[in-house]
Amino acid sequence: MVFGSKTWESSASKILVSKFVYENIQMINVGKPINIDQKYCPHPPCEKKGESHVQIQDLKLKNIYGTSTNKVAVNLQCSKSFPCKKVELIDINLEHKGVEGGSSSAVCENVDGSAHGKMVPQHCLN
């Protein structure tokens, strides 16, 4: 996993996580190469307790390439109350090599950012 963030819903206080740069990283059969999950639920079904109070901003992911065992190679699920801001994807190339077949995909929720260069999977940023 390049960047992974899992936060419980209804965190006790607001936390700012900012100014991260990850670049030139090769993934080989990684389950969740790029993963922000602010709706973390380790054992579904989970009782909804509210939004995560972790604010993620100024995150740059550049030249991340290789293979993912999960179809969702880029998962950016951010808090509705504290959406992710200024997320930048540059030259992402993560192909799906899992048993279920098919191409890799990206999921974005409550995230604002931009994408440049080669994008596999196709980005879902606003």
Residue 46 resides in a domain: no
CA 93 → CA 20, 21, 42, 62, 75, distances in Å? 19, 17, 28, 10, 14
What pLDDT score was predicted for residue 5?
57
Residue 62: Cβ within 10 Å count: 16
Residue 80 resides in a domain: yes
Q: By residue range, what is the domain housing residue 97?
A: 3-41+52-120
Low-confidence residues in the chain, pLDDT < 70: 1-12
What pLDDT score was predicted for residue 4?
56
Interatomic CA distance for residues 98 and 102, integer angstroms: 8
What pLDDT score was predicted for residue 1?
52
Domain count within the chain: 1
Residue 19 resides in a domain: yes
User: Virtual CA dihedral for 45, 1, 74, 101, nearest 10 degrees?
Assistant: -80
What pLDDT score was predicted for residue 10?
57
